[in-house]
Structure 1
Amino acid sequence: MYHIERAIFDIRRGLPVVVNTSEQRLLVQALEGSASVDSLAALSGSRPALVLTRHRLEAMGMALTADAACLPLPKHVSEADLHRLALSQESTPLTPALLSGLKPAGVGERGAVALMRRALLVPAALSAEVSASAAARIDQQLANGELLEVNARDAEKCLAGAPGMLKRVSEARIPLEDAAESRFVLFREPDGLREHVAVVIGQPERLSGAVPMRMHSACLTGDLFGSLRCDCGEQLRNAVVDIQSMGGGVLLYLAQEGRGIGLANKLRAYTLQDGGLDTVDADQVLGFGDDERQYAVAVDMLNALDINKVQLLTNNPLKMAALREGGIEVVSRQALYGSVTDHNHRYLSAKANRAGHFLDDVLEGHGR
């Protein structure tokens, strides 16, 4: 776990890392940033490939059953071509040479893409096998601490975080406008990248039955700035009011911006939506699935707060399933709506029609 955490920081800084599958060693680097095909080729002694997710390839019209695939890169490939392969929605067809030789990714390449996703970067990586001629040089750089090596299986599992290792860090009483008796409890994940907050409203430990509870994924644009593109800020405030009126409970504020893709990628997706895509298709163009969030952290937070039975405020069936899978009893569900406007109607419709969110009641009055 320690090496994976260090690898994530190196990747975010634009540095390559070695991914070891036991059968081969791959030198991998994030495409986002200052990645150079030629420099990676010189360092590894072999020609790099581009690793793309199944979602990205499907957005390009290429069916794939594997989670990711490797695309060998020709000797002279431009940065513009790499961008078009990994990010662009351009209708201009790619040359056949760029798309030839596609093959399912192995465990090393899958681990590379998982590292990119955990680092909140575009899920596309450059990957090159460490050749026999470059092995001694790579070994020396590893020994000197210039490069870091991680196990491929560990890298592949990094998206799950570290269940059971969440650390309760600090807490304080924070009176809220709609819930004066509130306490914020901060939790930190082991890799240090994400911090989550449990907002404890009232004294839920005194409740005899299920604890009213809301899992709210952070939305900087909606929660803080009142963006009209979503209903997140209104849902957040309504959740506080509802929990207070129900006699207290807990709101888990999870650092999972943009359904888990991070703020940078959410803004990229917004730009694609301005071009006509809905929220699901925009995420797919970037290489992401419908919902990249992981809820094991919410289970850990509830366990730390000694809560095992909840009345869940949500419209999302995935949240109910995730809690039950984690051993939390979901006694009942209460709907939680924001206002439907001309600005957010398409976003909410996509969540209902494509992600199965329970939004029929609120959309019916706005011409679904």
Structure 2
Amino acid sequence: MARTPIKQLYPLTNVPTWGKKVFQSFADDLLSEDNPFPCILGVEGLKKGSLRFCFIDSWNKEEDIKELAFHLRKYVEESRDLGKNTSFVAFFQPEETQTMQVYEKQFWSVLNALHEIDSEPWPADIPMDPDNHLWEFCFNGEPIFVVCNTPVHEKRSSRKAATFMITFQPRWVFDGINSDSIAGKAIKKMVRDRLVRYDTVAPHPELSWYGDKETREWKQYFLADENNQVPAQCPFHAAMQQQAPQAPVENNVNEYVKYRVETAFDEAAFERNVGGTLQEVVDSLLPVEGTGYVEVQTDAPNKAHPSHTHPTNEILHILNGSITFTVDDVETECFPGDRIYLPKGTVHSSVSGPEGCLYVIAILKENTL
């Protein structure tokens, strides 16, 4: 069966001349038979007419970011009607060639700007801390895997484009494609085999499956030409707009003063993927005046706290790194976004992971009013 010509699938009406040129370069790369493009899902999406595009004049002007947000929002709303191989590609008008570092800053600037004008709340099931293995960029309520391509990529040809370009893939397109599925294993092998032939640098060590505890999605978004070039911290700064409700402080001593979080617990518990930045965590755990306080603590790598107890209830919230708690001879490993509830008198011990651990502790003094 003859394939529908790309020009019929994507007529590119009202697209500027520069946009038609960079789109043609993009299509030529994906459809090359002599040098097959590694992302087979993207290739099939292009052939089936499942991809959507926008052409943006500038990456750093407010009106252009708003235009990008408009098109991305529209795409998210219709994406599930486009099939499993869909993606949204934003081309930015070619400008004077920049360095890899400058393009990387541009990329994160665009994601931050999109987040700031996103009118929808962050999905409740996606942690807001990028250092959590379940984090993903979100827009219009949709988790989205993001990839950046630039004109200066040389060794990593799979990330090279005629202009600064960002691809948005809804996370749901990967449903059923993971390390345990037959389809996932087959696609991974095919993509890796193509990457080895397509790029002149080995596949990046950060490339992995979503949800693996060692995986950090943001590290896969912008891959430089060298495999050792990854920022120590994620440049994405999620503005915390979902502030925890704050209990009012009553001046009447006969009124029972409530905490902002539930403190009436008498069993140790672990809550996964609560997420949140330092500011949000402190706001949500900070007791009202006179009923306790919070501390921010850092444990050095492999720091051990032998078995001990506390005279009050405590809640710990992990921000960075990892830590293993032992309660009743049961070990529980905790990661960024996890929250630990320790009733007073609970015998417990802990040891931080190889990267250390940063966490907030809420010391919940009993109300004496």
Q: Settle same-fold status: TM greater than 0.5.
A: no
- Which TM-score band applies after superposition, normalised by the shorter structure? under 0.3
TM-score by length of 2: 0.27
Whose radius of gyration is greater, 1 or 2? 2
TM-score by length of 1: 0.27
Give the number of the structure whose residues are more often helix, by fraction.
1
Greater RCO between the two (CA within 8 Å, min separation 6)? Answer: 1
